[in-house]
């Protein structure tokens, strides 16, 4: 049986030491290959067009073009490339900006080697990953309330949310559940509203972290 191709990863960080550390860490995994390193947003966008990585590990705080802007530019030009944020900060606004820019997940730089590798694998498969601190930041406005995000989701909406976490599109969900695409779109809008999220990816990542889906 032929061995599958490794996941092609590119890192984006303006700090040379951090890029070097990631380079060293990724050597531990046979199914992950580092194919490029960028020091800035513009360089990352240029490199994506040349080497076409599967997953981009993106820093948030960079001079000039920050991580959210770079993520948005990459997703606009190369929607097939998955962007996984790797940041030192879990501020709610940063997390939301990243997810709304198109990032598939948000990890912190203190993540373990295995957490990072699992995040890369999940990103390559289009599945969301959200660090605990990032998830807590997203639900922080409700921290003083007894209401739990997602507690008012219907059985059907939880079913649809589960398929969203699996990476299915609205049309694929409609086919799977024998619903019309219009009905699925309405449910997805309700799910985003009830979770207080702005995108499908953000909703899926938060659902996983809060344990709303199995």
Report how many domains make up the chain.
2
Boundary-marking domain end, from 140, 175, 196:
140
Residue 115: the pLDDT is 92
- CATH code of 205's domain: 1.10.10.10
pLDDT score of 139 = 64
Closest CA to 192 of 213, 173, 169, 164: 164
- My answer on whether 156 and 179 are in the same domain is yes
Same domain, 157 and 132: no
Q: What b-and-e string marks burial along 157-189, b requiring 16 or more CB atoms within 10 Å of the CB? A: bebbbbbbbebbebeebbeebebeeeebeebbe
pLDDT value for 144: 46
Q: Tell whether 198 and 134 lie within a shared domain.
A: no
Alpha-carbon distance values, 100 to 8, 12, 35, 96, 177 (Å): 24, 19, 26, 6, 27
State residue 93's pLDDT score: 81
> Domain span at residue 151?
146-210
Note the pLDDT of residue 73: 95
- In this structure, are 136 and 43 located in the same domain? yes
pLDDT the model gives residue 46: 95
Same domain, 54 and 22: yes
Same domain, 152 and 74: no
Same domain, 170 and 108: no
d(CA 188, CA 157): 8
**2 inside domain:** no
Do both 80 and 182 map to the same domain? no
Query: In terms of DSSP H, where are the helices of 30-91?
Result: 41-51, 67-77
**Residue 78 domain-assigned?**
yes
Q: What is the CATH number of the domain that holds 47?
A: 3.40.50.2300
State whether residue 149 is helix, strand or coil: coil
Mean pLDDT per 10-residue run, the chain (214 residues)? 86 91 92 96 95 96 90 94 91 84 90 92 89 74 56 88 91 92 91 85 84 80
pTM for the full predicted model: 0.69
**b/e map 128-140, b = 16+ CB within 10 Å:** bbbbeebbbbbbe
According to DSSP, the β-strands at 129-130 and 105-108 are parallel
């Amino acid at each position: 049986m032929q061995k599958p191709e490794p996941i092609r990863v590119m890192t984006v960080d303006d700090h040379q030491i951090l890029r070097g550390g990631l380079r060293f860490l990724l050597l531990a995994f046979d199914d992950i290959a580092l194919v490029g390193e960028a020091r800035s947003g513009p360089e990352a966008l240029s490199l994506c067009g040349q080497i076409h990585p599967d997953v981009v590990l993106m820093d948030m705080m960079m001079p000039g073009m920050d991580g959210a802007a770079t993520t948005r530019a990459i997703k606009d030009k190369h929607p097939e490339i998955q962007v996984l944020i790797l940041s030192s900060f879990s501020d709610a606004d940063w997390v939301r900006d990243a997810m709304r820019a198109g990032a598939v997940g948000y990890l912190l730089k203190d993540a373990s080697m295995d957490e990072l590798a699992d995040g890369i694998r999940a990103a390559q498969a289009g599945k969301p990953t959200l660090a605990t601190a990032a998830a807590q930041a997203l639900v922080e406005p409700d921290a003083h309330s007894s209401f739990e995000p997602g507690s008012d989701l219907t059985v059907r909406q939880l079913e649809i949310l589960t398929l969203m976490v699996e990476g299915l599109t609205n049309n694929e969900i409609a086919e799977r559940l024998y619903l019309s695409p219009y009905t699925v779109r309405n449910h997805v809008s309700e799910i985003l509203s009830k979770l207080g999220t702005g995108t499908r990816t953000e909703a899926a990542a938060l659902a996983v972290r809060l344990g709303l889906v199995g």
